[in-house]
């Protein structure tokens, strides 16, 4: 069974409200995971560890970012249309 290896530019975590950006980011060769509602704090911490979270609500994730050592990208000042962001 052959395995397909590919390199991505990086791993990004999208807040669930930003689903519209997923396709555009994947087209730019990013691996994208969604941060779904209802995850426990431990599950969020594991998913965010050493990754980049893209969110509209930076304040809600400041503590988790510090605990998980992840970076935050704030999109609250954008209209979430992929072209201007990417």
**Which is more confidently placed, 5 or 76?**
76
Pick from 47, 42, 51, 86: nearest CA to 72: 51
**Which is more confidently placed, 85 or 45?**
45
What's the CA angle centered on 27, arms 78 and 75, to 5 degrees? 15
pLDDT number for residue 36: 87
Q: Which stretch of 1-5, 6-10, 31-35 has the lowest confidence by average pLDDT?
A: 1-5
pLDDT number for residue 77: 83
What CATH number belongs to 10-85?
3.40.50
Strand partners, 54: 14, 73
In tens, the pLDDT along 15-73 reads 888 888 899 899 889 999 999 888 898 898 899 999 999 999 899 889 888 988 999 99
């Amino acid at each position: 069974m052959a395995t397909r290896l590919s390199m991505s530019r990086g791993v990004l975590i999208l807040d669930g409200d930003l689903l519209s950006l997923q396709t555009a980011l994947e087209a730019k060769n990013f691996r994208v995971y969604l941060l779904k509602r209802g995850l426990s704090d431990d599950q969020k911490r594991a998913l965010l560890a050493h990754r980049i979270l893209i969110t509209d609500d930076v304040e809600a994730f400041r503590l988790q970012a510090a605990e998980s050592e992840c970076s935050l990208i704030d999109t609250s000042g954008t209209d979430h249309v992929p072209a201007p962001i990417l």
